[in-house]
Amino acid sequence: MREELISERLVPVLDSVDSRRVVIGAPLLPTRFIWRRESYTIAEVLEEWRETGPCHHGSGERYVRKHWFRVRMATGEEMKIYFERQARSPRELKRRWWLYTVTR
């Protein structure tokens, strides 16, 4: 198996979210998303973790910056995807889900 760096935007299919995740404060993980005009379905969440960073205003607190997921797709591929808690810029408010790597 080979892991390939992608680092491209995903488009979540919002009618397919796992609403059980709201309770733990995680983003609504879509069970389907579009990448390169193809639809992909998540079959299993293999691992998840959070990336944190310091407060930008100097308070000393740490905040969750990204929610990461290693998932197995219905096609058998493994993907690492993440959700950015804050958009990179006002123009990118809807660009919050990203595909980081694919293992084929």
Task: Say what the pLDDT of residue 45 is.
Answer: 94
Task: Say what the pLDDT of residue 24 is.
Answer: 65
Mode of pairing for the β-strands spanning 3-9 and 11-12: unpaired
Distance CA 63, CA 61 (A): 7
pTM: 0.82
Per-residue pLDDT tens over the stretch 38-93? 999 999 999 999 998 887 777 878 878 899 999 999 999 999 999 998 766 666 55
| Torsion sign across C-alpha atoms 67, 93, 44, 20 | positive
φ, ψ of residue 23 to 5 degrees: the values are: -60, -35
Give 50-85 as a DSSP string.
EEEEE-TTS-S-EEEEEEEEEEEETTS-EEEEEEES
Which residues on neighbouring strands pair with residue 81, listed in sequence order? 69, 99
Of the two residues 21 and 30, the one the predictor is more confident about is 30
Residue 97: pLDDT band with limits 50, 70, 90: very high
